[in-house]
Amino acid sequence: MRVDPAHAEKARTAAVALGISVTAYVDALLGHEQLDEHGRPLWWQDPVPFDQKALALKTSA
C-alpha cells in the first residue's frame, strides 16, 4: 500500500514548518496516538474484517 500523495505532502508541510524530518514528525504523531483496548486507534470508524462474523450459508439440497 502506498501513502496518498496528498497525505504525504501534508506530513512534509508539517515537518518543514516544525523544522524536523518527516520521519521525526510521523514518530511524534504516532507517539500521541491513543488506542482502545483492542489496540485500535480511537478515531477508527471503519469495520474491522476479522471482527465480522461469518454468515451462515444455506446448503443446497
Domain of residue 23, residue span: 1-32
Asked, for residue 54, whether it belongs to a domain, the answer is no
In this prediction, residue 56 carries a pLDDT of 55
Mean pLDDT of 36-43: 95
Asked, for residue 5, whether it belongs to a domain, the answer is yes
In this prediction, residue 49 carries a pLDDT of 84
Asked, for residue 39, whether it belongs to a domain, the answer is no
Asked, for residue 55, whether it belongs to a domain, the answer is no
Asked, for residue 47, whether it belongs to a domain, the answer is no
Asked, for residue 15, whether it belongs to a domain, the answer is yes
In this prediction, residue 23 carries a pLDDT of 97
pLDDT of residue 37 exceeding 90, the answer is yes
Mapping DSSP onto H, E and C, the string for the chain reads CCCCHHHHHHHHHHHHHHCCCHHHHHHHHHHCCCECCCCCECCCCCCCHHHCCCCCCCCCC
- For 2-32, write each residue's pLDDT tens digit: 999 999 999 999 999 999 999 999 999 999 9
Asked, for residue 7, whether it belongs to a domain, the answer is yes
